[in-house]
A = this chain, B = another copy of it.
Amino acid sequence: MGCSPRRRIRNEYIRGNKTALMGEQQTTRTRMAGVTGLEAFFAPKAVGVVGASRTPGKVGHEILAALIAGGFEGPILPINPNAEEIEGLACYPDLASAEPTPDLVIVTIPAPGVLETVRQCSRLGIKAMVIISSGFRESGDKGNRLERILLQEARRAGIRILGPNCIGLMVPGQKLNASFGGQLPPPGRVAYFSQSGSLLAAMADMGREYDLGFSRMLSIGNKADIDEVEAIKALGRDEQTHVIGGYLETIDDGDAFVREAERVSRDKPILIMKAGVTGAGERAASSHTGRLAGMEMAYECIFERAGVVRCGSIKAQFDYARAFATQPLPDGHHVAIIANAGGAGIMAADAIEREGLALAELANETTRTLTETLPETASTNNPVDILGDALADRYEFALNTVLDDDAVHSVLVLLSPHAMTECDATAEAVARVTSDKPNKPVVACFLGARRVENAKTVLRRAGVPHYDSPEAAVATLKVMADYARWRRRPKRVVKLFPVNRRKVETIIDRHLRQGAEDVGEADAHDILEAYGFVTPRGQVATSSEQAVNFAEQIGYPVVLKIWSPDILHKSEVDGVKVALTSAQEVMDAFDLMMYRIPRKVPDADIIGVLIQEMFTSGQELVLGMNRDPRFGPLMMVGMGGVMVEVLKDVAFYPAPLTAQEAMEMLVRTRTYHLLDSDNERQDVDFDAIAEGLQRLSQLVTEFPSFQEVDINPFLVGPPGTPPVAVDARMRVAKKQ
C-alpha cells in the first residue's frame, strides 16, 4: 500500500502555486454546478474524512472504518496532518491536497477547527459537508455563536451542512456509510431523518433485522442548515425515496414545515414521530382558545392539515413504514379479516372498531363463493373464519375471493398456529395471491413465535408486512386509509367574504400604537361587525332617562354594562346587570352603577352605561383563534358558555379554513351531535356556524396582529336566524 507517492503529489500541491490549486478548485466547482440541494449527499463521487483517526473507538476512526466496511466504491480520502495512512488508505494533511477533491466531506475534528474546514471547502468548491463534531449550539452560548458563524460562512459559499452534532449519513444504494450508526441497512424505498442520532442507529439496526430497506438516512443533529423542512423538500424530489420518515423533538419553522410537508404529502407519505410532546403546552393565555390550544393540539392539527402521518412510537413508525413501502394505498376504510381461529379475529374486529375503521360488508356473491367451497362450520361473513384445520389452500382461496370484492379495501390475514397449520405454505400462498392481485393492501399477523418464524421471513421477502399483534396490523391499516383519504380530499378553496378591512385596520393600528393588547368591548364589537358578524344591538346612555329610552327601543329584556375604556373586567366592579325587564329595573340599575362604580374605581373615565339587547334562547357556542408561535392561527369551535374549559368539547384546525374544513371541525365536537339530534330541540343553522368560523378565519388571516380571539357565547338559533356574537375577547400584538 504505497501512500508515499500520493503524499508526494499532495506535497507538490501544497508547495505549488496558487493558480494550480485554483484550477483544481475550478474544476470541482464546474463538476458541482449541476448539483442542487442535497444530491451531493445522496450520490457523492469522493468522500473526505476530516479528522480521520487511527485509534479505534474515536469517531474519526469509526466513520472511516464504516465507510470502508460499507463498500463505498468512490475514493475515500482520510484527512489528518499527523498520519501517513489509515486503514490502508493514503492520508492527506488537508482537504486542498486531497486527490481527487472530494465532493462530500465528513468532519470529525473538535468544534474549534470546523470553521477553518468550512473555509477550506469554500475555497475548494466543496458543497456538501456532514459535521459530526459536537460542541456547537447544544453546548451553550459559545457553541451557539460558533454554529451561527459557521452557518453564515457556509451559506455564503453555497455549502450545505448536515449536522453539526450528528452521527452522519447512510445511503445504502450507494454503499455509503458515512456514520457511526452501525452497519448499513438494506437499500430500499424509505428515507429517514432524525434529530436523535441514536434513534437513527436503532432504525438502521431494525431495518437490517426486519429487511426494511432505506434510500437515505440522515442524522440532522443540531439542524444548523439541513433541518426537517430541507430534508422533506429534498426527499420529496428524490426518486429513490417513496416514503419519508422522521424523528423530531422540535419544529422550528412551523409555517415552512406545513407548506413543504403538505406539498410533499401529495406524492409521498411522511411519517413523523414527534417526541417531547407532553408537558410543554403550558403557557399563559387570556382566552379560552389560548388555554385550550396546547402545543400538543397544535402539532395534532397541523400534521392533520399537512397530511403528515403522526406516529405514537418508533415501533408504530416502523410498522407503518413497512406497509407504506410495500403496499398500495387502500380506497377506503373497509377491512376484511381472514382467520383460522375465533380469538384473533375478535381482537382484530375490536381494534377495527376502536380505530374507526369498519369491517367490510362482503357482497352476497363473495359470501356465496366462500360458502360453496369452505367447510360448513366456517364463518363466511367478515371476519371470515376458515377454521382451525385450514391449510394453505384454504387461505389462498379465501384471500383471492375477498380481494375480488369491491366492498373490501384492505385485508388482514390472521393465522394461529394449530398442530396441523401449514405456516410456511400459508405465507407462500399469501405471497402468491398478493403478487397476482397487487391493488389492495394486504397485511398479516401470524400469532406465536417460533412456529411462525420462518413464515414471517417468507412474508417479508414477498413484501407482505407482518405485525406482531392484530392491533398493530389494524393501526397500520388505519393510518394508510386516513392518508389515502387525505390524498383524495377535494381541492381546498378558501372563500373570501366582502368585509370592511379598513375599519379593522384602524382599530388595530390604534391599539398597536398605544401598546394596548386587550381590545375593549366596543372595538371588538366594531371589528366583528366589519367582518359580517351580527352583534347585540346597544347604545351607550348617559342618563337614566336615556337608558330607559334605549331599552324601550331595543325591547326587554336588556343588559346594562358600565361603559369605560378603563374598565376591562366589568363584572369585577358589578358593572354588568342582566335580564332587566322593565323601565323601573333599568333606571335602578343605571343609577346604582353610576353611583357605586366611580367610588370603586375613582380613576376610571366613565362614559356611561351600555344598554344592550339580551338573548334568552339559542345554543351557546364558542368560536376562537389562538396564534401558535410556530404554526400560526389555530381556529377553534365548540360548546360555549362558562364551561368551555371544563367540557373541552372543542375542535381545532389551522386557518385559513375552507367551508368543508369549518364543517368538519364542527362535526368533530360532541356539541354538534347534541344539536343535530332530534330530541325535541329546535334545528340549528350549522351552515351559519361554519360561515362564522370562515369569517373569523379570514379576519385572523388578514390581520396577523390578532394573537387570540374568543367569541363566546356565539349564540346560534334555527336556520334563518343569523347567529349572534354576543361577547368577544381579543388580544392583539405586533406580529412576532
Which residues of A approach B to under 8 Å, CB–CB? 57, 59, 62, 139, 167, 180-182, 194-199, 201-202, 205-206, 208-210, 247, 249, 273, 275-279, 312-315, 340-344, 346-347, 349-351, 353-354, 377, 388, 416-420, 447-452, 468-472, 643, 646-649, 670-671, 673-674
Task: Please give the distance in Å from A672's CB to the nearest CB on chain B.
Answer: 9
The residue in chain B whose Cβ has the minimal distance to the Cβ of A340 is B198
Q: How far is the CA of A420 from the CA of B349 in the complex (A)?
A: 45
Is B417 a contact partner of A202 (Cβ separation < 8 A)? yes
Is A346 a contact partner of B249 (Cβ separation < 8 A)? yes
Q: How far is the CA of A707 from the CA of B30 in the complex (A)?
A: 85
Q: How far is the CA of A57 from the CA of B388 in the complex (A)?
A: 12
Is A451 a contact partner of B199 (Cβ separation < 8 A)? no
Is B417 a contact partner of A199 (Cβ separation < 8 A)? no
Residues of B within 8 A of A182 (CB): 417, 419, 448, 451
Ranked nearest first, the 10 interchain pairs of A and B with the lowest CB-CB distance are: A196-B343, A198-B416, A209-B449, A198-B341, A205-B448, A202-B447, A646-B674, A278-B353, A202-B448, A180-B419
The residue in chain B whose Cβ has the minimal distance to the Cβ of A352 is B278
Given A313-B347, A341-B198, A451-B205 contact (CB < 8 Å): yes
The residue in chain B whose Cβ has the minimal distance to the Cβ of A312 is B471
Q: How far is the CA of A210 from the CA of B451 in the complex (A)?
A: 13
Residues of B within 8 A of A354 (CB): 278
Task: Please give the distance in Å from A669's CB to the nearest CB on chain B.
Answer: 9
Is B418 a contact partner of A198 (Cβ separation < 8 A)? yes
Q: How far is the CA of A106 from the CA of B169 in the complex (A)?
A: 61
Q: How far is the CA of A450 from the CA of B347 in the complex (A)?
A: 30
Given A416-B199, A419-B180, A419-B182, A450-B278 contact (CB < 8 Å): no
Residues of B within 8 A of A388 (CB): 197-198
Q: How far is the CA of A182 from the CA of B388 in the complex (A)?
A: 14
A-B contact pairs, 29 of them (CB 8 A): A139-B377, A182-B448, A182-B451, A196-B346, A196-B416, A198-B342, A198-B447, A199-B343, A201-B417, A202-B417, A202-B448, A202-B449, A205-B417, A205-B451, A209-B449, A210-B449, A249-B343, A275-B346, A275-B347, A276-B349, A276-B350, A277-B350, A313-B347, A314-B347, A314-B447, A315-B468, A315-B472, A647-B670, A648-B670
Q: How far is the CA of A469 from the CA of B447 in the complex (A)?
A: 19
The residue in chain B whose Cβ has the minimal distance to the Cβ of A339 is B198
The residue in chain B whose Cβ has the minimal distance to the Cβ of A140 is B377
Q: How far is the CA of A340 from the CA of B197 in the complex (A)?
A: 11
Q: How far is the CA of A346 from the CA of B194 in the complex (A)?
A: 14
The residue in chain B whose Cβ has the minimal distance to the Cβ of A276 is B346
Residues of B within 8 A of A349 (CB): 276, 278
Given A208-B449, A447-B198, A469-B314 contact (CB < 8 Å): yes
Q: How far is the CA of A670 from the CA of B292 in the complex (A)?
A: 14
Is B346 a contact partner of A205 (Cβ separation < 8 A)? no
Residues of B within 8 A of A673 (CB): 646
Given A205-B417, A448-B202, A451-B205, A469-B278 contact (CB < 8 Å): no
Q: How far is the CA of A470 from the CA of B646 in the complex (A)?
A: 32
Is B279 a contact partner of A343 (Cβ separation < 8 A)? no
Task: Please give the distance in Å from A609's CB to the nearest CB on chain B.
Answer: 22
Residues of B within 8 A of A276 (CB): 346, 349-350
Contact residue among B206, B279, B418 (Cβ-Cβ distance under 8 Å from A201): B418
The residue in chain B whose Cβ has the minimal distance to the Cβ of A348 is B275
Is A313 a contact partner of B671 (Cβ separation < 8 A)? no
Task: Please give the distance in Å from A165's CB to the nearest CB on chain B.
Answer: 11
Residues of B within 8 A of A419 (CB): 57, 59, 62, 180-182
Residues of B within 8 A of A208 (CB): 449-450
Is B646 a contact partner of A418 (Cβ separation < 8 A)? no
Q: How far is the CA of A388 from the CA of B134 in the complex (A)?
A: 12
Residues of B within 8 A of A199 (CB): 341, 343-344, 416, 447
Is A469 a contact partner of B315 (Cβ separation < 8 A)? yes
A198-B341, A202-B448, A312-B471 given. 8 additional CB < 8 A pairs?
A180-B419, A196-B346, A196-B416, A199-B344, A249-B346, A275-B346, A275-B350, A315-B472
Given A247-B343, A312-B471, A201-B420 contact (CB < 8 Å): no
Is A201 a contact partner of B342 (Cβ separation < 8 A)? no
Task: Please give the distance in Å from A666's CB to the nearest CB on chain B.
Answer: 14
Task: Please give the distance in Å from A309's CB to the nearest CB on chain B.
Answer: 17
Q: How far is the CA of A201 from the CA of B205 in the complex (A)?
A: 30
Q: How far is the CA of A353 from the CA of B643 in the complex (A)?
A: 26
The residue in chain B whose Cβ has the minimal distance to the Cβ of A643 is B674
Q: How far is the CA of A275 from the CA of B470 in the complex (A)?
A: 12
Residues of B within 8 A of A341 (CB): 196-199
The residue in chain B whose Cβ has the minimal distance to the Cβ of A274 is B350
Q: How far is the CA of A312 from the CA of B471 in the complex (A)?
A: 9
Residues of B within 8 A of A472 (CB): 315
Task: Please give the distance in Å from A137's CB to the nearest CB on chain B.
Answer: 14
